[in-house]
Structure 1
Amino acid sequence: MTESPDRHPALEPVSLGSLDLANRLMVAPMTRISATPAGVPTELMADYYAEFASGGFGLVITEGIYPDAAYSQGYLDQPGLVTQEHIDGWRVVTDRVHADGARIVAQLMHAGALSQGNPYRSETLAPSAVEPLGTMMEAYGGSGPWPVPREATSDDIADVVDGFAAAARNAAAAGFDGIEVHAANGYLLDQFVTEYTNQRTDEYGASTANRIRLTAEVVERIVAETPEGFIVGVRVSQTKVNDVVYRWSGGAEDVVVISESLAKAGAHYIHVASEGRSWFETAQLADGSTVTGLAREVSGLPVIANGGMHDRDQAARVLAEGHADFLAIGHVALANPDLPNRLAAGDELAEFDPAMLRPSVTIESSLRWRQAGRAWQ
């Protein structure tokens, strides 16, 4: 073990809404498709999430969880928050995480047009009947082109909001400290925000204010129907799992409209995702400001930055310069579930090996990687 350096600012104890957190470091949501075929969390999933808690992370954000038994499920063996069995399974996970000293929020995700494994429906749903870019993701069990989705009706949209609200209530019953609305990375709510996937001319289309409307309605409804002190965050992004080059055409103006809308709806934080890119690459705006910093300024909400936040110097800069309040770490956390403890001790981090996610992005794949002798020390 190396000599401990000056304490890193990410290690400061801090509050997020009603939650007292051990530090500013969070586990980013990462799809693991390791639930039962019925979407019930397993003991292996409880072990997986508890390891981040014992490793020192202040907050764990789960993988995307489907919120309804209709169009929302994106992948086979994805966990849900729909049935009592789901609630009971997640209760085991939340109890384990809490026992190891961390907080945990459930990310609620409706896949929309990017659904490639849904036993509840044979068709997909989206704001408009636009075929998604690229092809289905093999690591998540898909192959070939995406189907053309069905355009959502007003009744469908109402059902989507109902589903998110019901799942948030279930999350509270399962012992979660809050939820994160997944409005990023190309999934349904982001499909409404994105111009080329949303060709609607009603109140949910055309302007940025209209395209963020559905996400704001989901947030407002969840805040109204969950207990006081229950955290409701929102994850947004420009890039997507099937389009890593997309940027909001309105630039800073879009950041302002989106951030103000989410704050007005009652969100407790905004999480800006990078979808496999570095924060520096995806956060920069034409005027020299950053998406994260501007969102923080105009919303008045805490902001989570994502993308390369395991880099000590970048993490310190993001916090010191006011670009964000919290740092979410994804793939590198898989190789270093004890990353906060390593940071505190001044120890080097193990490098992330893409083999941890092969042949599929399951917890079992990571375990095989560890059993092959490439585990963290």
Structure 2
Amino acid sequence: MTSRLFTPAALNGTPVKNRAMVAPMTRISASETGVPGEMMQRYYASFARGGFGAVISEGIYVDQAWSQTYAFQPGIVTDEQVAGWRGVVEAVKEQDAVFIAQLIHGGALSQANIYRRSTAAPSAVKPVGQQLSFYHGQGDYAQPEAMSDRQIQQAIDAFAASAERAVNRAGFDGVEIHSANGYLLDQFLTDYTNQRNDRWGGDIEARLRLTLAVIAAVRAKVGPETIVGVRISQGKVNDFHHKWKEGKAGAVKVFAQLQAAGVDYIHVTEYQAWQPAFSDGEQTFAEIAREAAPDTAIVVNGGLDTGELAEAQLEKSADFVAIGKAALANHDWPARVAQGAALRDLPENVLSPVANIKPSEV
């Protein structure tokens, strides 16, 4: 259908057959102890079989402390979890797709954790909003404890160790560090959830310091030839319309520092990727990222349900597009777009666990 969407590309030397990625989407379909099984193998392989050039996993928790966010969320900490992921990775790679593991720490937004009853965050600030009911949450979020320097270092080490397990033991092509959508790294980046007066708090550059430390630790573990990406957003699962108070000037600083940190791609996500990022300007979040990080691949996510919307982003600022809800309804989205075929409507249960998606929708 289009010229750019279906052209080959590469991430840190790894070939990618086209510019269409599956966005990371929480599915809560692992075992209670965080082990991926056969259902997850079928789920992820179906996207690769449907023509996506790359697949980014749902958020995978990184330790047996505070990182688990949801019940039945997969981890990559124990031998059993790693072995489960190895089966999923093999199933995806058999279909000629690049597979990237997204690593997450829930921080204050953890609403189910088999290892801890408490939550931890940059500051003892209760999250706004309500827990997510479609992920089995109920009521207010708990008030977190403020993390000590030791706990912060443990979180950095957990990201790095899990990255090494994902790449060297499970076989993923790379990792994406989740610094978006209100989870721990984003809590450090956000002014009202980070009230620290030490080196982890302050202006937006200081608040980005933990994400940069995680990137450095991960890169040291996985080496220079492995794909390392980072996901960044303004909005959060519990504060959907949040905007950075520093505006474009702050965004430029963030994106420039991420490029300097040596990530292979920056994954920006907004509700509607084509809308201006800030009320006082016309540039989208992706366009600001492209301007501030010209030498880094930009992945764009946010409402790009159709081939036309995806292609428009590729023409303006993106190197790749990450398809979310539309991919759930159309695991063969690239094939349908290439053929000009009609796309299925999003099912009513699109945000529910994959177990509730009928085989005809997969």
Normalising by structure 2, what TM-score? Answer: 0.97
Residue of structure 1 in register with 2:282 after alignment:
288
Query: Which deviates further from its counterpart, 348-357 or 242-251?
Result: 348-357
Deviation at 1:125, TM superposition (A): 0.4
- Find 1:364's aligned residue among 332, 355, 358: 355
Distance 1:30 1:267 in 2: 21
Deviation at 1:310, TM superposition (A): 2.3
Residue of structure 1 in register with 2:347 after alignment:
353
Q: Give yes or no for contact 1:184–1:235 (8 Å, CA) kept in 2.
A: yes
- Find 2:253's aligned residue among 239, 254, 257: 257
Residue of structure 1 in register with 2:7 after alignment:
12
Deviation at 1:343, TM superposition (A): 1.0
Q: Give yes or no for contact 1:217–1:265 (8 Å, CA) kept in 2.
A: no
- Find 2:236's aligned residue among 240, 247, 253: 240
Corresponding residue SS for 1:11: coil
**Corresponding position: 1:337 with 2:328:** no
Residue of structure 1 in register with 2:305 after alignment:
310
Deviation at 1:281, TM superposition (A): 3.3
Once the two structures are superposed, the pairs formed by residues 1-377 of structure 1 within 5 Å of their partners are 6-172=1-167, 173-274=169-270, 277-281=271-275, 283=277, 286-299=280-293, 300-321=295-316, 323-357=317-351, 361-367=352-358, 370=359, 375=361
Distance 1:228 1:99 in 2: 25
Distance 1:289 1:108 in 2: 29
Distance 2:250 2:347 in 1: 35
Normalising by structure 1, what TM-score? Answer: 0.93
The Cα offsets for residues 240-299 of structure 1, whole Å up to 9 and x where unpaired, read as 00011100111111111111221222211100112xx21123645633222212212222
Q: Give yes or no for contact 2:122–2:188 (8 Å, CA) kept in 1.
A: yes
Distance 1:366 1:243 in 2: 27
Stretches of structure 1 that go unaligned for 5 or more consecutive residues are: 1-5
Distance 2:320 2:278 in 1: 18
Say what the alpha-carbon RMSD is for the aligned residues.
Answer: 1.3
Q: Give yes or no for contact 1:285–1:291 (8 Å, CA) kept in 2.
A: no
Deviation at 1:179, TM superposition (A): 0.3
Q: Give yes or no for contact 1:252–1:285 (8 Å, CA) kept in 2.
A: no
Identity of aligned residues (%): 44
Corresponding residue SS for 1:56: coil
Structure 1 runs of 4+ with >4 Å offset:
none
